[in-house]
Amino acid sequence: MRTTRADVAKLAGVSTATVSYVLNNSRGIAEDTRKRVLTAVEELKYKPDMIARSLVTNETMQLSVVVDNITNPFYGDIVLGFENAAIEKGYFVNICTGYKNIDEYFENFISRRLDGVFIVATIYKFHIEKLYRLVDEGIKVVKCENIEADLRKVSSVENDYMTAMNDAVGHLYNLGHRNIAYISGQSKILKCDPKLMGFQKAVEKFKLGNTVVLEGNAPYSSDIPDGYNLACKLLSIDKSYSAVICLNDLMAMGAIKAFNENGLRVPEDISVMGFDDIPYAAYWDPPITTMAVPKSFLGSKAFELLYTNMKKGNTGYFMNRLQLIERKSTSQCGV
Amino acid sequence: MRTTRADVAKLAGVSTATVSYVLNNSRGIAEDTRKRVLTAVEELKYKPDMIARSLVTNETMQLSVVVDNITNPFYGDIVLGFENAAIEKGYFVNICTGYKNIDEYFENFISRRLDGVFIVATIYKFHIEKLYRLVDEGIKVVKCENIEADLRKVSSVENDYMTAMNDAVGHLYNLGHRNIAYISGQSKILKCDPKLMGFQKAVEKFKLGNTVVLEGNAPYSSDIPDGYNLACKLLSIDKSYSAVICLNDLMAMGAIKAFNENGLRVPEDISVMGFDDIPYAAYWDPPITTMAVPKSFLGSKAFELLYTNMKKGNTGYFMNRLQLIERKSTSQCGV
DNA sequence: TTGAAAGCGTTACCAT
DNA sequence: ATGGTAACGCTTTCAA
């Protein structure tokens, strides 16, 4: 049998209420009885039962992080940043991978009365009405870019990709590049694409020469083989580009591989940039110049927003800045 | 206010007990009342409260997977295989990253009365007594290799690295290699190292020529930079090896990079093999020949063992076979 | 400063 | 076939 609060009370010679007061120090307690209770707790190795506790407090102190695909190295540090901040406030956080239908997770979140959810998965994996159901059921939600949602209902952390794309093009421009391709991988079904908008703006601002945007298959392409395939496609269309910006580091890796196989050296013959700064970017050959997302920071900001929402009720918004990290996949044009 | 079972009962004109019977179809119910209840549930959008349910059934239907490091691509498919099997049986599974102290998670598992835990993290991240505490508290545990534990208390899924290492050496042997280095990365504190044992056995069996084992720093080295560093060390010691086996694909990646930077081509000048078959292994340049772990399968077997333990009480054991996947990082010796 | 007792939303035993 | 109700382990109001 499980040792309960009643056992502790009996051993300490106090009431069950007193045990609660001591454990939650929710009320002044005589130092003497306090000690007796604590000793009894120690002796019986008593652990409060969160299930029973949740039932009465209406707080589970449990949070969930929902990611697309646990394999994606981009998420690792975001989750870490979130969890570290959450643990500090006493929350238990668990990660859910969106391999199966994410909507089903939502049902579970409601049944289990989670206090809050951080959803990193893209909109393609679930239905927005289901997300609102969570909110209606009192579960606070913070989302991460990529999802159009009512900011009065859910909080949001976003990355400033538009500015970052401007910086990326600027970096290549300063190296003398004028003919730049953008391997986007996004398809037309994406309504609002800040990276694409940023690229188009930059094309005008810097008065670039030849430019092209390579789209992917619906709903979107974003993995190593996608980068490989789109880079091959680029070469088959036109070889005049001296630099390529890729949607993310994964695609940059694939693109570099494609260029190498076609006899182009990176960066001597063609410069390649990525986005995100996933752990492998630094170890790739050549190490990839990228627009880094401060990932752990983004995660901790997400928790902050969620916490405010849980405690005060209001949603919030945070825009994350990216940083250029120069490595070896970009160099002076035509050198 | 949350709609409860009482609301449903009132609307359907039955008792709360009847609602339970219908929802859990734990008892014969007149088709007529059944319909009335179901209609009421629908109308009120009633969702059973797992918290309250758990309190009385002593089952939370919640499982946890504990991994070292969520970023490690090796774990992705293992977790997937486990979760898919678990979802089928109605469990909610959440993943915990072992960034912080894993022992603290264990405390939480007890408080939250999880039904079971799949622990993939290595022993260095927690204390074995704490793991046994879980078992004492009635939480079933299945572990994944690397951990010496009492198999009467916890179940275990393991990879047959000894046989796999034999196959790896055999593959190189068949390609004509006789001088083979093993970049182990493990340190002396590891008591039982099946890969190392397998290598030593194979050295004798195949009567190899020059061989060497490169250890890492305590507790162990297993990442890309570790592979890079150890490969550099190998070159500084002796250049007579025509093939290198690495602890895992990550280290193989680092090693390949080191060789390239030192003017050695892979596989023309030196063959390199890894273990695991992580997603990137196929995309690396060159694609890496590796001993693949059937990961998703391993995960589903872990759940099977856990399920048996939860339902019948007995622990179990499963040994997973690895498969050689030939890619481009190994080739005929001296060609 | 401490205790008694009323819930929290279920399930399951015991009646009917 | 259905309903009443104790029990699960905890918190918190109200009294003392």
**Full DSSP string of B22-75:** HHTT-S---HHHHHHHHHHHHHHT----HHHHHHHHS---EEEEEES-TT-HHH
From the alpha carbon of A27, which nucleotide's C1' atom is closest?
Answer: C1
Please report, for the domain that includes residue B30, its CATH number: 1.10.260.40
User: Are A282 and A199 members of one domain?
Assistant: yes
Is the distance between the Cβ of B55 and the closest atom of strand D smaller than 7 Å? Answer: yes
Percent of chain A with pLDDT over 70: 99
Backbone torsion region of residue A177, taken as left when φ is above 0, otherwise alpha when ψ lies between -120 and 50, otherwise beta: beta
B99 compared with B283, residue with greater pLDDT: B283
Taking 70 as the threshold, does the pLDDT of residue B261 lie above it?
yes
User: Are B43 and B98 members of one domain?
Assistant: no
Taking 70 as the threshold, does the pLDDT of residue B292 lie above it?
yes
Residue A126 lies in a domain: yes
The neighbour count for residue B248, using CB atoms within 10 Å, is: 26
Q: What distance in Å separates the CA atoms of residue A329 and residue A272, rounded to the nearest whole number?
A: 5
The CA distance from A289 to the nearest CA of chain B, in Å, is 17
Percent of chain B with pLDDT over 70: 99
In this complex, the residue of A49, A94, A253 whose CB is nearest that of residue B96 is: A94
Domain that holds residue B14: 5-48
Please report, for the domain that includes residue B253, its CATH number: 3.40.50.2300
Q: What distance in Å separates the CA atoms of residue A72 and residue B76, rounded to the nearest whole number?
A: 9
User: Are A256 and A151 members of one domain?
Assistant: no
Number of structural domains in chain A: 3
Q: What distance in Å separates the CA atoms of residue B218 and residue B124, rounded to the nearest whole number?
A: 10
Percent of chain A with pLDDT over 90: 80
DSSP H or E segment with residue B143: strand B140-144
**CA nearest to nucleotide D6 C1': residue:** B56
Note the strand D nucleotides within 7 A of protein beta carbons: 1-5, 7-13
Residues A129, A286: contact at Cβ < 8 Å? no
**How does strand A323-325 pair with strand A289-292?**
antiparallel
**CA nearest to nucleotide D13 C1': residue:** A17
**Sequence-distant (≥ 6) Cβ neighbours of residue A306 within 8 angstroms:** A63, A116, A118, A140, A141, A142, A155
Q: What is the pLDDT of residue A335?
A: 64
Q: What is the pLDDT of residue A220?
A: 84
User: Are B20 and B135 members of one domain?
Assistant: no
Q: What is the pLDDT of residue A160?
A: 96
Is the distance between the Cβ of A25 and the closest atom of strand D smaller than 7 Å? Answer: no
- Where does residue A286 rank: exposed (0-12), middle (13-18), buried (19+ CB within 10 A)? middle
Residue A183 lies in a domain: yes
Question: Which of these ranges, A91-100, B80-89, B201-210, has the smallest mean pLDDT?
Answer: A91-100
Q: What is the pLDDT of residue B75?
A: 87
Residue B262 lies in a domain: yes
Q: What is the pLDDT of residue A81?
A: 95
Q: What's the first-to-final CA gap in chain B, in angstroms?
A: 76
- Where does residue B26 rank: exposed (0-12), middle (13-18), buried (19+ CB within 10 A)? exposed
Q: What distance in Å separates the CA atoms of residue A187 and residue B102, rounded to the nearest whole number?
A: 42
Taking 80 as the threshold, does the pLDDT of residue B191 lie above it?
no
Q: Give mean pLDDT, residues A223-229.
A: 93
Instruction: Give the pLDDT confidence of B51-101 residue by residue, as tens digits.
Output: 999 999 999 999 999 998 887 778 889 999 999 999 999 999 999 987 778
Residue A259 lies in a domain: yes
**Chain A, nearest residue to B279 by Cα:** A71
Taking 90 as the threshold, does the pLDDT of residue A175 lie above it?
yes
**CA nearest to nucleotide C8 C1': residue:** A56
CA nearest to B97, candidates A89, A4, A97, A223? A97
Instruction: Give the DSSP letter of residue B318.
Output: E
Q: What distance in Å separates the CA atoms of residue A32 and residue A311, rounded to the nearest whole number?
A: 34
- Mean pLDDT rounded to a whole number for chain B: 93
3-class secondary-structure state, position B95: strand
Percent helix / strand / coil, chain A, rounded to 5: 45, 15, 40
How would residue B217 be classed by pLDDT, with cut points 50, 70 and 90?
A: confident
Residue A327 lies in a domain: no
Q: What is the pLDDT of residue B335?
A: 64
Residue A173 lies in a domain: yes
User: Are A214 and A107 members of one domain?
Assistant: no
Which residues of B, range 224-243, sit inside 8 Å of A by Cβ? 224-225, 228
Instruction: Give the pLDDT confidence of B141-151 residue by residue, as tens digits.
Output: 999 987 888 99
Q: What is the pLDDT of residue B48?
A: 93
User: Are B219 and B131 members of one domain?
Assistant: no
Taking 90 as the threshold, does the pLDDT of residue A210 lie above it?
yes
Which residues of B, range 81-120, sit inside 8 Å of A by Cβ? 83-84, 87, 92, 94-97, 99-100, 104, 107-108, 110-113
Taking 90 as the threshold, does the pLDDT of residue A166 lie above it?
yes
User: Are A168 and A288 members of one domain?
Assistant: yes
User: Are A206 and A185 members of one domain?
Assistant: yes
User: Are B249 and B224 members of one domain?
Assistant: yes
Residues B105, B117: contact at Cβ < 8 Å? no
**How does strand A180-183 pair with strand A211-214?**
parallel
DSSP H or E segment with residue B230: helix B224-237
A28 compared with A276, residue with greater pLDDT: A276
- Mean pLDDT rounded to a whole number for chain A: 93
Residue A278 lies in a domain: yes
Q: What is the pLDDT of residue A217?
A: 86
